Structure 1
Amino acid sequence: MLKCMCFYQNSFIEELSTPCYIVNTDVLAENFRNIRAKADQTGLSLLLAMKGFPLAKAFPFIKSYVDGISASGLFEAKLGSKLGKKVHVHTPAYKKEDAEEIAAHCSHIVLNSPHQQEVFSHVATAKNEFALRLNPEVSIVEEPVYNPCAPYSRFGLTKEMLSAVDGRFFDKISGFHIHALCGSSSKDFNNLISAVLDKFSDYLPSVSWINLGGGQALLEDDFDFADFAENLDILHSKYHLKTYIEPCEYLVMDAGFLLTTVLDVVHNGKDIAILDSSISCHALDVLKNYYQLPVIYPQAGEKGYSYLLAGNSCLSGDVFGEYSFSAPLKPGDKIVFGDMGSYSFAQMNYFNGINYPDICFYSEKNGFQQIKSFDYMNYEALYD
């Protein structure tokens, strides 16, 4: 586990406006450097999954350590192309009106079903490689909401579905894409590769590369790269496949923080410190997944003064959690939360780069009137 490199000891932190996301670029670069070294030892190619960290401003710190980016749609692909490397894109379904731009920005286009090839039939060029997403039907992730292989999944083709595909289709694709992990161990990753070899070995000779997705807990102490070396070697030596992974969370681990300020302290059975932040606005993952962020400043733990740290919205459940400190909190004090690198600002705005809805008025007299619309430039302005 990397040290957070105590930037909060710098007096300048008192001058920052809050709430504020802070990205420690020293930690960011160290994460990428460490994982790049391990990936090189195992012959893995490394893509940054934009869905969790779409901060193009950080590209200069990570560019030398990755082979490209993985995008969840047009907006992420366009922004990710600023890295100047390979752009892989995958999504459950493509809009026909986006096809030309996707083909222009992406080197690798993953189809979720064979008939999606038709979307790109008139816009694809020789620079575009097409892949097919597969469903290995291994439910390694226990929580159904995060399990791409859950029953009735819309993601990819199972072995049975693949057997019904016209064999001529494989002449049009050069790769496979598989994603089935979330915060998973090296043992889980090895089991995934085993499932791929078991279910899809008949199809592997027809392609030149495979993307095994993200979700590998690469920086955990017990993640053993040797666990999956034998199975990975089969993909490399027997099938001669270029093998990608597309992590995010463990590339930015310990590099992201949320700086807030205490606005008031009230008492209702417990002391409650109200912050100028909100989990529903600034830490949505906490609200969705019911976990508690670490407070790294002031140092929290088994201390003498306990507080509920609460957000400043009208949502009753807008509470970061209960924390104890060695001294009382007062208005104006700074609070620094850790574990805010991945999926923090990504979920605050445009998760997966999916566009905001247009806004229309309607009346019987005037019909429909579009009063507000959003486009890629709104998205780019947030992260570049």
Structure 2
Amino acid sequence: MKAQTDKVNLSLLMAMKGFPLVKAFPYISPFICGTSASGLFEAKLGSHLGKENHIHTPAYKAEDAQEILSVCDHIVLNSPGQAEIFSQLATSKNEFGLRLNPEISAVKEDVYNPCAPFSRFGVKKTDMDEIDSKIMNKISGFHVHALCGSSGKDFNSLLSATIEKFSPYFHDISWINLGGGQALTEDDFDFSFFQKNLDILQNKYHLKTYIEPCEYLVMDAGFLITTVLDIVHNKKDIAILDTSISCHALDVLKNYYKLPVVFPQTCESHHLSKYSYILAGNSCLSGDLFGTYEFEEPLKPGDKIVFGDMGSYSFAQQNYFNGINFPSIAFYNKTDGLRQIKNYTYKNYEEIYD
């Protein structure tokens, strides 16, 4: 992906919301120019990278302003009203952006669509001229986010709408953040779709152009290693695992997709094996199910099941429902082998609820 994004001259910011793990920064740092936070805590964590530190959120707390200014160099305001919080505290190192609502998106589900009707995100074109000039004079960049798992063609549509609606204001800014949600590593993502519009932003208006991926930076780097605790039968064989989809893969539960099993060997669904199992979590939630999988060999208690595609969001959204412990975190490479970097105990759970 680096070679492709270099070719189209995009500056990458890693979105902290999907992968807040400081110990991984040394591995990610060579490929990104900074981080993008959705709130103060993420921004403070992102500051450990030592590069650009951007923040955007629907609304800031006044009591957080001083600390945000101390750790963030780029602060995106969701509305002109938020400028008042920072107006008396900003320093020369702080740059302010304004979030825009281009009123276009390829995202079908409103729950994930920042441009859905009645959206609270950003300023629409019809409202731009009503913003006080004193506020606009402090704005050095724009932020647009309207995609989710979207193609190069969808990204180009977003660029076209943004240029059409907001280009009269581009002469007064120096950067634009085009948000995340571009399916950069998918085989059918075509970078050529948006080259012309990207050239307009960079060569006509001379805008430094950011995007803020997360999922497509780390999605294939994360694995969840689980153990079969028991096999029960209720018309189908059910393998109960020492994990929980509601605790450790909440995004899978919310989005109704199926995680890949990378170990042991599975069968294609159209070649059904006699070794078919529902893989189930160990919580009290009836829907704590990873789905039905077919295996080459029968499962038994003690067997390991390894899920892939766990590098982003699942890791960030894990929780202590039912008091089920967090998985330990380990790094692996061929040189150093497996290194455990974090282990969770009852003490971590107690500190939250005691």
TM-score, normalising length: structure 2: 0.88
* Aligned-pair CA distance for 1:139: 2.4
Equivalent-residue separation in structure 2 for 1:349 and 1:272 (angstroms): 24
For CA contacts below 8 A with separation 6 or more, give which structure has more relative contact order.
1
Aligned to 1:318: 288
Equivalent-residue separation in structure 2 for 1:165 and 1:190 (angstroms): 28
Q: Is the 8 A contact 1:36 1:66 kept in 2?
A: no
Q: Is it true that 1:257 corresponds to 2:227 in the alignment? A: no
TM-score, normalising length: structure 1: 0.81
Instruction: Report sequence identity in percent.
Output: 71
Letter of the aligned partner of 1:95 in structure 2?
Answer: K
Aligned to 1:117: 83
* Aligned-pair CA distance for 1:174: 0.2
Q: Secondary structure at the match of 1:149?
A: coil
Q: Secondary structure at the match of 2:316?
A: helix
Equivalent-residue separation in structure 2 for 1:286 and 1:223 (angstroms): 23
Aligned to 1:334: 304
Equivalent-residue separation in structure 2 for 1:47 and 1:321 (angstroms): 34
Q: Secondary structure at the match of 2:200?
A: helix
Q: 1:210-264 CA deviation, whole Å, 9 max, x = no partner?
A: 0000000101111111111000000011111000000111111211111100000
Q: Which sections of structure 1, spanning at least 5 residues, go unmatched?
A: 1-34, 351-377
Q: Is it true that 1:129 corresponds to 2:95 in the alignment? A: yes
Q: Which sections of structure 2, spanning at least 5 residues, go unmatched?
A: 321-347
Equivalent-residue separation in structure 2 for 1:226 and 1:203 (angstroms): 26
Equivalent-residue separation in structure 2 for 1:193 and 1:242 (angstroms): 14
Q: Secondary structure at the match of 2:153?
A: helix
Superposed, 1:89-108 pairs within 5 Å as 89-108=55-74
2:162 to 193, 196, 206: 196
Letter of the aligned partner of 1:112 in structure 2?
Answer: N
* Aligned-pair CA distance for 1:64: 1.2
Q: 1:363-384 CA deviation, whole Å, 9 max, x = no partner?
A: xxxxxxxxxxxxxxx9xx99xx
Equivalent-residue separation in structure 1 for 2:151 and 2:285 (angstroms): 36
Residues 258, 111 of structure 1: alpha-carbon distance in 2 compared, 3 angstrom cutoff: same
Letter of the aligned partner of 1:113 in structure 2?
Answer: S
Letter of the aligned partner of 1:105 in structure 2?
Answer: V
Q: Secondary structure at the match of 2:243?
A: coil
Superposed, 1:231-250 pairs within 5 Å as 231-250=197-216
Aligned to 2:193: 227
Aligned to 2:340: none
Equivalent-residue separation in structure 1 for 2:160 and 2:126 (angstroms): 18
Equivalent-residue separation in structure 1 for 2:30 and 2:89 (angstroms): 31
1:44 to 10, 21, 33: 10
- 4+ residue stretches of structure 1 with deviation over 6 A? none
Q: 1:50-82 CA deviation, whole Å, 9 max, x = no partner?
A: 001111110010111110000001000000000
Q: Is the 8 A contact 1:53 1:343 kept in 2?
A: yes
* Aligned-pair CA distance for 1:304: 2.7
Aligned to 2:45: 79
Q: Secondary structure at the match of 1:291?
A: coil
Equivalent-residue separation in structure 2 for 1:289 and 1:65 (angstroms): 29
Letter of the aligned partner of 2:86 in structure 1?
Answer: F
Q: Is the 8 A contact 2:247 2:319 kept in 1?
A: no
* Aligned-pair CA distance for 1:36: 2.3
Superposed, 1:18-57 pairs within 5 Å as 35-57=1-23
* Aligned-pair CA distance for 1:169: 2.0
Q: Secondary structure at the match of 1:161?
A: helix
Q: Is the 8 A contact 1:107 1:128 kept in 2?
A: yes
* Aligned-pair CA distance for 1:349: 5.0
Q: Secondary structure at the match of 2:162?
A: helix
Equivalent-residue separation in structure 1 for 2:105 and 2:50 (angstroms): 35
Superposed, 1:156-175 pairs within 5 Å as 156-175=122-141
Aligned to 1:272: 238
Q: Is the 8 A contact 1:36 1:46 kept in 2?
A: no
